[in-house]
Each structure stands twice: as C-alpha cells, then as structure tokens.
Structure 1
Amino acid sequence: MSSSTIRKAIGAVKDQTSIGIAKVASNDAPELEVAIVKATSHDDDPADEKYIRRILQLTTCSRGYVSVCVSKLSKRLGKTRDWIVALKSLIVVHRLLNEGDLVFQQEIMFTTRKGTRLLNMSDFRDEDFCLVFGSEA
C-alpha cells in the first residue's frame, strides 16, 4: 500500500469520526459542524457545492451560527496537517466572505481582535511534504 493510499484512508476515517462526534456531542450547531467537515473533507475532490451552500444558508439565518462557523473553521484550519483540508477550509472562508452575510466579516474582525488566528497559516506544515523532503515538522 502506498503512503498516499494510507493517507487517504486515514483522512476518511478522521472525517467520519468528526462527523459522528458532531452529531452526538456538538452542543452548538451539529448540522453546521457536519456541513463544515463535509465541505473540507480529506478527499481529493473539490469542496462539494451542496455543503458550502448549506453553510451559507445556516450562517445567514443566525448570528450565533456565524460565531460557531468561525470557531469551527478556525479550529479545523489550526489542527489540520493536510494541505487539502487547509485549502478547502480557505475556500469556504473565501466563499463566506464573498457571498455570505456582512455579519460573517464582522465576526472575523471581532474574533481576530480577541486573538483568534483564523487565517494565520504561518505554523502550517503538511505531513506528506515533511516526510518526502525531510523537513522538520
């Protein structure tokens, strides 16, 4: 088995685990969290438009959903070591900034002032890149 096949399998398991945890243990907005995980999945396919639209719809409905969305995207970006997940997360943020409610932009500004590092990717390291090129993670 090649390392990329193993990486894809581990990514799929991680996504399914995150979805299961969101459905069972999420107190904030389980439907939103599931949509974020599915839109930013580890697979090589582009982010599914259906889930991006669902995120846009949910964040337009409630300011509470906007803060949860910013929090979950920030957490996903901060924890991932997979360039595919990071790129898809940034695409979702871009779509929300362009097509979402103005409240989303305001929430990003507010959380940035509080110290949340939503778009700061200076610590990001892709594990596959480090393994191939011998960089320290």
Structure 2
Amino acid sequence: MMPTTIQKAIGAMKDHTSITIAKVASNMAPELEVAIVKATSHDDDPVSEKHIREILNLTYYSGGYIHACVAAVSKQLGKTRDWIVGLKELMLIHHFLNDGNPLFEEEILYATRRGTRLLNLSDFRDEATRAIGITPGSS
C-alpha cells in the first residue's frame, strides 16, 4: 500500500523534527543519531547505502558509538508506529550484524539482557495508516 500525500508530508515533518532534535539534544553522538534518522526515514525508498556506510564507519572503531547506536535504534524502534520505519530499522540491525563491528552482536545481546526490547516487536502497531482511515486490504 502506497502512502498518501498527507502521510508523506507528515513523515517528512517527523523526520525533519527528529533530525533537529538529534542535532541539538543528543547526549551521546549527534552525528550518529542524525545518520540513523536519515537511514530510517518515512519515505518509500530503500535504506540508503550511503547512510548505512556512514553509520558503520562511525561505529567500527568505537565501542561507545556501538552502544549509542544500539540505544538509538532501540529507542526509535520502540517509538515508531510506522511500518516503513520499523522495517528500515530491522534492515539496519541486519547490516550491523553482517557488516559491522563484531561487538554489535555482543552489544545487542547485552542490551537485551538489560531489558531493552530491541527485536521484540510483539506490541508493534502500524498506526500511520490507521490514523487517516486506511485499513489493510482497502484500496
């Protein structure tokens, strides 16, 4: 199902707001959070290889950045109610585990042990399409 013009505008506004907040209020790594928001934008385009490489380069040599990256993706995945963003975040995690620093696997495991619900999407709801009255199967 393709997003409507209203959904695209709302998604773009949310992305812009998230980028601004990450630049101003990020405690850990603002450039990393901005790259994550840009990689998991609300648009229909696949995750940009440019943003994936940027994130992997930032995290490859620093355990602190790995921790910040897992925390940021976990936080964003827990907050999102848009299936496109959720799918892109899962794709990012897949890239982290396949192409990133080997410490990603350990950090994800430790985060899960600390109670972070990084890969548990049992309570995920796609409220973006429901908010404007679109139901699955309707065209």
Per the TM superposition, whether the score is higher than 0.5 is yes
Q: Residue in 2 aligned with 1:87?
A: 87
Partner of 1:114: 114
Q: Deviations over 1:10-43 (max 9, x none)?
A: 1100100110111111121000000000000000
Q: Distance in 1 between matches of 2:23 and 2:72?
A: 14
Query: Who is 1:7 aligned against?
Result: 7
Note the C-alpha offset of 1:129.
5.0
User: CA separation in 2, counterparts of 1:15 and 1:119?
Assistant: 22
Q: What residue number does 2:134 align with?
A: 132
Bigger relative contact order (CA 8 A; separation at least 6): 2
The separation in 1 between residues aligned to 2:94 and 2:67, in whole angstroms, is 16
The alpha-carbon deviation at position 46 of structure 1 amounts to 0.6
Give 1:1-137 correspondences, 5 Å limit.
Answer: 4-127=4-127, 128=129, 131-133=133-135
Identical amino acids, percent of aligned pairs: 64
Amino acid corresponding to residue 133 of structure 1 in structure 2: T
Q: Structure 1 stretches (4+) deviating beyond 3 angstroms?
A: none
| Gap regions ≥5 residues in structure 2 | none
**Counterpart Cα distance in 2 of 1:46 and 1:110:** 29
Shift of 1:133: 3.1
Q: Shift in Å at residue 47 of structure 1? A: 0.7
Aligned mates of 2:62, 2:31 — CA distance in 1? 13
TM-score (norm 2): 0.90
Question: Would the aligned equivalents of 2:97 and 2:105 in 1 still touch at CA under 8 Å?
Answer: yes
Structure 1, unpaired ranges of 5+:
none
TM-score for both structures, normalised by structure 1: 0.92
Output the amino acid matched with 1:57.
N
The code of the aligned residue for 2:134 comes to V
Contact 2:61 2:101 in 1 (8 A): no
| Total equivalences in the alignment | 132
Partners of 1:132 and 1:22 in 2: CA distance:
31
Deviations 1:49-84 (CA, angstroms, capped at 9, x unpaired): 100001111111210000110011011111111110
Which structure has greater helix proportion? Answer: 1
